[in-house]
Amino acid sequence: MTLPLISLDQVTIGYPGVPILEKVSLEIVSGDSYAVLGPNGSGKTALLKTIAGILAPIEGRLHRQASEGGDSVQVGYVPQRAALNGLLPLTVGEVIQMGTYGNVKPWQRLGKGERERIDWAKQEVEIEDLEQKRYSELSGGQQQRTLIARALASAPVVLVLDEPLASLDKKTVQTMLRLLVKLKSDTGMTLLWADHFIPELLQVVQDVLEIEYRTLHTQTVEQYMQRG
């Protein structure tokens, strides 16, 4: 039996003093893909941030499996696009490089491994030609791809995406879906993907984590579809 990469046991999720989801129990299994669905304000972002280690559980226990190096498994977090200050002259290359900062000590320079990972991440989301461009001058889809490349540069075992398709036109949504399916088949990475209901999303994932009335329901895509 495979140990879950991440497990939540009776976890209360939310911001300090503001619980949003209560008594969440969940196991994230290696190689699976999960859609996190729910209405606005239901707690999708809070759940993803808790899994990514950004929010501490208010109550309960969250456990991350140890990686080969002894550290707990790395979770790559892809925020919503507005998360990055558009006034700063950050280039695409600089934004992606930030993803490697967790693996490099302050006195070290970026090593060959980090540079290769950055190149691979850019190739994977097809933005090699945007390296010198300012992040703030990119289209919505390009910005989203840059943020995915940044998360990939951190060498994640689990990739968490917070509404990557929000406010994108239909054509860009199709491109993003194609890229994420390709990423999944290339790497076998575990994906957690929060979004509003998009039929195409259910073709990419195996399980659905549905948030309703402050509780989380775990089900397969088939079960979710049967419930309508």
Q: What does the binding site for other proteins look like in residue numbers (CB under 8 A)?
A: 16, 49, 52-54, 71, 75-77, 79, 83-85, 87-91, 93-94, 98-99, 101-102, 104, 106-107, 132, 150, 154
Closest by CA to 23, choosing from 190, 189, 216, 225, is: 216
Closest by CA to 48, choosing from 89, 67, 20, is: 20
Q: Between residues 19 and 175, which has the closer beta carbon with respect to other proteins?
A: 19
Q: Between residues 26 and 147, which has the closer beta carbon with respect to other proteins?
A: 147
Please state, in angstroms and rounded to a whole number, the distance separating the CA atoms of residues 37 and 41: 11
| φ, ψ at 119 (rounded to 5°) | -60, -45
Q: Between residues 192 and 208, which has the closer beta carbon with respect to other proteins?
A: 192
Cα torsion angle, 22, 23, 28, 32, sign = negative
Q: Between residues 16 and 199, which has the closer beta carbon with respect to other proteins?
A: 16
Q: Between residues 84 and 211, which has the closer beta carbon with respect to other proteins?
A: 84
Closest by CA to 34, choosing from 219, 193, 210, is: 193
Q: How far is the CB of 50 from other proteins (least distance, A)?
A: 11
Q: Between residues 30 and 136, which has the closer beta carbon with respect to other proteins?
A: 136
Q: Between residues 107 and 213, which has the closer beta carbon with respect to other proteins?
A: 107
Please state, in angstroms and rounded to a whole number, the distance separating the CA atoms of residues 173 and 124: 16
Q: How far is the CB of 228 from other proteins (least distance, A)?
A: 35
185 burial type by CB count under 10 A (0-12 exposed, 13-18 middle, 19+ buried): exposed
Please state, in angstroms and rounded to a whole number, the distance separating the CA atoms of residues 57 and 6: 13
Phi-psi region of 14 (alpha: psi -120 to 50; beta: other; left: phi over 0): left
Q: How far is the CB of 18 from other proteins (least distance, A)?
A: 10
Q: How far is the CB of 227 from other proteins (least distance, A)?
A: 32
Closest by CA to 60, choosing from 24, 27, 20, 36, is: 24
Q: How far is the CB of 52 from other proteins (least distance, A)?
A: 5
**Length of the chain in terms of residues written:** 228
Q: How far is the CB of 153 from other proteins (least distance, A)?
A: 10
Q: How far is the CB of 212 from other proteins (least distance, A)?
A: 26
